[in-house]
Amino acid sequence: MKKKTINTILILIIISFSVWLGFELYNDQNVQKQNKEEAYLAQKTIANNIEQTHSYPKEKVETEYKGYTVAAKLEIPEIELETCVLQNYSENALNVSVTKFWGCNPNETGNFCIVGHNFKNKNMFRNLKNLKKGDLLYLIDNKVGKVTYEIYDIYKVVPEDVSCLSQKTNGKKEVTLITCTSDSKMRIIVKAVEKLEL
């Protein structure tokens, strides 16, 4: 009788301990989940506050150029370039000005990709090769305004390499400029990210 009672007590202690341990683990997981959710919401709130409190200078951008719809205006002071970025890519549009090639709308979160010929025309990408890291460019649209971007990478790829079009920007605004090398064998890629004033 005594042995049976001791076994029963031991079983009850083990069951009680198991229930308590399970409850503690469950509670711990809920606390971790809640902390992650709170951290995510805090980050989102900070990002929204930055977006809402940051005001961009407003400039009027022409909505049409030589019969083509304009998405934005691009300015790169370092190479004295001011040009319209046409909204819809086509071979004909590309002979008129640089065009949006891929990605989000101008000055939105994501990677706004602009392609242009390496022509000597004043509104083309002939002098992209003269840019360097740290140079600034400006993208102006009628919705957001004038946003400043800083060049952080310049490199060449084979035409088949389209990795520069990726939209994975970690929630940042990016601009990618693309043109051919003089011999058309490679592509020059210029990557820029929004320069936030502190």
- pLDDT digits 0-9 by tens, 58-74: 888 999 999 999 999 99
Q: What is the pLDDT of residue 67?
A: 96
Name the token pair of 25: 């683990």
Q: Tokens 């990016």 correspond to what residue? A: 174
Least confident interval from 27-36, 61-70, 105-114:
27-36
pLDDT at 117 over 70: yes
Q: What is the pLDDT of residue 11?
A: 74
Name the token pair of 159: 């035409």
pLDDT at 52 over 60: no
Angle (CA) 146-55-99 rounded to 5° is: 25
Give the residues across from 98 on adjacent strands: 85
Region 111-128 average pLDDT: 94
pLDDT at 15 over 70: yes
pLDDT at 50 over 70: no
Q: Which letter does DSSP use for residue 126 in this model?
A: T
Region 158-169 average pLDDT: 95
Helices (H) and strands (E) in the chain, counts: 2, 9
Q: Which element (helix H / strand E) includes 137?
A: strand 136-140
Q: Measured in Å, how far apart are the chain's first and last C-alpha atoms?
A: 78
Report the SS3 class of residue 73: strand
pTM: 0.73
Q: What is the pLDDT of residue 14?
A: 76
Question: pLDDT > 70: what percent of the chain?
Answer: 76
pLDDT at 195 over 80: yes
Q: What is the pLDDT of residue 37?
A: 63
Q: Tokens 């090398």 correspond to what residue? A: 181
